[in-house]
Structure formats: C-alpha cells, structure tokens
A and B are shown apart, each in its own frame.
Chain A
Amino acid sequence: MRNLFLFLKKYYFILLFIIIESSSLYLYFSNHRYQHSKILSFTQEYTGAIYDYYSNINEYLNLKKENKFLKKENAKLYSMISYEKENNKNHLHDFIPARIINNSVYKKDNFIVINRGRTDGVKEGMGIMTHNGIVGIISSISENYSKAISILNSKSSVSIKHVKSNQNGSLKWTSHNYMEGEINDIPNHANISLGDTIQSNGFSSIFPENIDIGTIISYNKGNENGLYNIKVKFLCDMNNITNVYIINSLHKKELEEL
C-alpha cells in the first residue's frame, strides 16, 4: 500500500496528464455522439448569447451593404410569389428568417450559430439557405439559438442535380477553399460542360427543389470507376452572409413515413 502511494506521488503528473489527454482525445474522436451534443446543447445558450451580443455590434458596420442586398432579395421574392399564385402551386415550405451570429470557413469542420431556437419553432434537421444557395443543416438546438453543420463541413453532403442533363448526385466539401465543392458521382456518359448550373434536387426534403447552388469550374473523367470528378464554385460567399432562412418543410414527415 505504501509503495502504491509512493508510486502515485512520484508519477501523479504523468498519470494526470494521461487521464486528461486521453479523455479529451476520446471526446474529440467520438464527434457527434451523445456526450458531444449533450455538452454543447447545455452550453449553447450562454455561448450563443455572447456571440449574439458581439454580432449586434458588428452588424452596424455592414448596414448599408446588407440593406442593398435585402432589397434585391425582396424583389426576387415578389416575383416568386406572383409566379406561385399564377400556377396555383401547393404550399410546400415555410421560411423562418434568421441571422447568423457565428460562422467559420477556414476549418475542416465548420459550424454556424444562428439566433433562432426551439421557441421559434426550429427543429433539428431543418435546412438553412440564402437567396443564392444552401448554407447548412441544423444539428442542435437550445431555447433561443441553434447550431448548424455548415455546407463547408467534411461530413456534409447535399443532394443535387446537374440541370442540363438532369443527372442526380451529391455535393461534398473536401478542399480547403471555401468557394469550391466537389461532386464525384455523376456518370461519365452525361454531357457536362464548364459553367453549367448545379441545383438542389429536393430528394432529401430538407431543401426545396431548384435552388441554384453553383457552377461547374472544372471536371475530368475519373479513369477507373466511370464517374466524373467535378469541381463546383458556390454562388454564395459563405464568408460573407448574415441573413438566412430556415426551411420548414411541411411535407417532410409525410415523405419520411413512406
């Protein structure tokens, strides 16, 4: 027993280090498991409030630009409403306006924090978009804030279509460049050229159909598997967005039950 105490006294520093280091590494590699989301949803309310306060100050610097941008968007939305009325379309999605209060684009797994939470009717798994592209998917929520997996995350994957050939695929983000995404599952025989538009295809019921996401900037035929390797330039600059919309897909539950 005495020896044990002597041993602990001599090596407590290394033991303490090993215990704390391995538990942090375990938490890091068990990303997105239960403990992770528990810890974050507990602290999110406080971190969210700090980010919110800071972005309130920061926002004044961009008011003019933001105003111009919103006017442009309004005009576009008016035209969309009139189009829907003419065609008597079914109402498929509700939009909740929100503001981004924290965002990153330079990491391997980027996240977004927005100022809407459970009290505003946000639920996990809802999509976030701007007028010119897809931004992310909500991953955890607290009372007044929610966190979303950005499209610039190694785990994100968005189902898309190539408009000209109507081929479906999925858009991933693998590079370090926040303006570029990658598509690796469109077959070789499809007719693809530079500058073609990529749109969302609405299969996942998270995002509405036909939102422009980006344009093709380079492609080459993969040799073994018969699939294209396509690089896409996003239309929206993820480093420079403030106002977004959370998409509440009204038919999502029905679609999932099929």
Chain B
Amino acid sequence: MAGMQKSEFENPVINWIDTRLPIFTMMQKEYGVFPTPRNFNYFWNFGALAMVNLMIMIVTGIVLAMFYQPNTSLAFDSVQHIMRDVNYGWLIRYVHQNGASMFFIVTYIHIFRGLYYGSYKAPRELLWILGVVIMLLMMATAFMGYVLPWGQMSYWGATVITNLFSAFPWIGPKIVTLLWGGFSVDQPTLNRFFSLHYLLPFVLVGVIFLHIAALHITGSNNPLGIDVKTPQDTLPFHPYYTIKDSVGICVFLIVFSGFVFFAPNFLGDPNNFIPANPLQTPADIVPEWYFLPYYAILRSVPNKLLGVCLMFASILVLFVLPWLDTSKVRSARFRPIFRQIIWVWLLSVVVLGLCGAHKPEGVWVILSRIATLYYFFHFLVILPVLGKLERTLPLPESISQSVTGGRGGGPFPSGATAKPMEKA
C-alpha cells in the first residue's frame, strides 16, 4: 500500500484527503462496491446489527460514566441519581441495560448462523476464532458491567464468579486475591471493574476490525455454502445490503424499544434493587439470562474444579470447531442429518439455560447433566463422525444458477453486476 495513488473522486476536498489518506477509496472498496453473495437471507443481517449495538453501548456507556461513581458507598445512589435527576438519565440507563441483552441476542443468533451454514469452515477458520474471542470479551465486559450498580445481585454474582478461580489447585486462591485486590469483593474490585469495563469495549472494536478484515479477505459465506464463482454470483454491497441492513436495523430498534419503553426490567433480577449487603446472601444467586447455560454447566457436576473446567471447556470447544467438523459440505441445507441434529443441540442449550435459572436440585440437576453431556457429545462425537458418514445432497453449480433457476443469462438490473460505481 506504499506510494500515493491518484484518487478517483471528483469532489476536490474529498480528493485532497483521499490522496493523502485513502479512507474514501477504502470505504468505497470495502462497503461500496464490495462483491457480496446475492443470496443472503436475513440471518446475514446480524453481524451489522451487532456492530450497531456496540456503538449504542459505547455512546450510552460514555454518557453514563459522566455520572456514575465507582465507590462502594456511592455507586448504588449514583445510579439512582442517573435514573431520577439526570435529564433523560432513565432512558440512557435503560438503553444501556437492555442494550446488553440485545447484544447477546443478536450475537447468539449471529453465531447460530455460523454453526448452521458452516461459516467456520475453511478458509474462514481464523474469522471464526476471532469471533469466539469477541464473544469472550463481550462476556467479560457484561459481567463487569453488571457489578457496577452495586446491588445485591451485582455483589453476590461477582463473589460467586470470582471465587470460581479458587478451584484451581495451589494458585487458585492467589488468583482470587489478585482479582479482588483484597480479601473479598470490595472497593478495589469495584474500581478496577469500572476501569476494565470502560476499556474492553474498545479492545472489542479492535478485534472486530480484525474480524471484518479477515472476512473481507475470504469473502462472505452464503446460505448455499458454495463458493462465489463469477461476478454474476454477487451484488455490490451498496445499495443492496446497505438497504437490507437498514431494514434489519429498523426491526432491531423496534424490538429494542419494546424492551426499553415497555418492559425495561423484564430481563433483570429484582434483587438488584437492593443495595449490596456483604453480610446477607440472597436466596437465589442467578446471573443474567445470557450466562444461564454456562451457569448450568458449572453446577451440573458436584466437583468444584470439574465444574469450572467444563464451563470453560464449553466455550473453548468452539475454538477448535473448524477441525472437529469433518464434513466437506458447508451448509446445513445440503446436510440432511446435520440440519436436524443441530436443532437438538440448540434445544440442549435452551434446556441448559432453563436449568441455570433454577436451584440445582431435583429434576433440574438431572436435566442439566443430560443437556451438558449432549452439548459436548454434539461437538466431540457427532460432528467428527457425521462428517465422515453423512450422505450429503448434491450442491448447485453456482449461486447465480440456483437463484435464477438455471437460466444463467439474461439482463441483470443496473448495478447488479458488481461494476465499480461512480462516486460524486
């Protein structure tokens, strides 16, 4: 990329900037004319939705940080001050709080799309791995964010989860002391969680940049799971997918607004309206809904260390998924057994979520053990074996052939053949 290139833009100001720092040329290339498979379905909206969601979280978070006090005697009251006294404070807080849930809804669907259509398979393995890193960063950020209001569930959730690390032999308790900065969750913990909660979203932005860069090298997958063969298989990203993404964003905002304005505390825990009391544990310690499946796995086995390891393993297994799944066919559309089996896996995750919301006793323990076993069975046994044994359906010749019903020719709408578009 060294050396100045002549900029193609007509506008003199844009041309001047672009010659010296080709951001406009880059935007034109990566988001203007970028050849994108023409057969995306709405599952492909969710990456863009996650990006929009992240921006909403950063903006609302920065404004909230102007009023929040990261001190154990002031934190809870500072949140109430935001809710009651700051102009539109209630709105900004509810957007941030429900935005976290929306972020997980959007991201979980985005991940499911990857699982169903084989987007993790070669050559997109690194793209997938970056995605798992993004998910881990999101989980860390959300966990620390939930501690900040310093309610009962903030405090006790922090205590339970930081205590997990004591399961590791010998170094465990030292790690916990290091995390706490003391002998229990207290002021030092709250302060560092606030600092890291402000930091990690920007780390997220960096990893997402790499995620999208990796995507733009390999190109997007598509519902058929077959490679793009000719420009006729693609559309320029703008205007086709900019408009489609705009539609998706509107639907997303409607759902988001439904929560923010009509049920802002539906997904939350009433215990967090009680200021943190280190001397009294709530009857049920439950994390936010998006952590429930992992919580269920953690509590499914009676052994503390094994529970912790299984919980971490449930995410680590995703890192090696591209090598666990041996099928040569990407998309579930052409894998008749896999396309049914994956829903069983999804069911196991939902069951784990339900188990996580209940005390680990009676039927819930039994269910969580079965579901945990099945979760790992899917990744470690079914996927490797199925890939070898499954008789897949014949793949179409090309994307355009499957979309236009085999005509292969005929005029295309202007702009639909991925020509570079003239830019004013």
Are the chains A and B members of one assembly?
A: no
